[in-house]
């Protein structure tokens, strides 16, 4: 799978809410009411990610979850990342 160009990434970012391109990945920050809600969200992300066999980088501190998506095999952002970002936004 080939990584997308910066121009293609910018175009795809218009189709997903609040994701940003940073350091060869797309990222989004989520804030929840408390740790329990944040952890529940992480579990849901894990289930979706496992189904599509594409796994994000997850960072959690109390009620905050930061997600980074990149396709390591392609050394950059691919459509797999955008497809997973859309699925995460639908949770």
Q: What is the pLDDT of residues 32-60, one digit of tens each?
A: 999 999 999 999 999 999 999 999 999 99
DSSP state of 52: H
**pLDDT tens-digit profile of 62-91?**
999 999 999 999 999 999 999 999 999 999
**Structural domains of the chain in order of their starting residue, each with its CATH number:** 6-89 (3.30.1360.20)
pTM of the predicted structure, to 2 decimals: 0.95
| pLDDT at residue 31, rounded to an integer | 98
Burial 3-16 (b: 16+ CB within 10 A, else e): bbeeeebeebbeeb
């Amino acid at each position: 799978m080939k990584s997308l160009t910066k121009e293609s990434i910018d175009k795809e970012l218009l189709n997903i809410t609040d994701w940003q391109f940073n350091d060869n990945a797309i990222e989004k920050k989520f804030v929840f009411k408390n740790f329990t809600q944040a952890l529940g969200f992480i579990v849901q992300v894990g289930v979706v990610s496992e189904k599509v066999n594409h796994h994000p980088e997850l960072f959690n501190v109390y009620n905050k979850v930061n997600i980074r998506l990149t396709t390591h095999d392609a050394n950059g952002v691919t459509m797999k990342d955008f497809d997973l970002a859309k699925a995460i936004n639908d949770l």
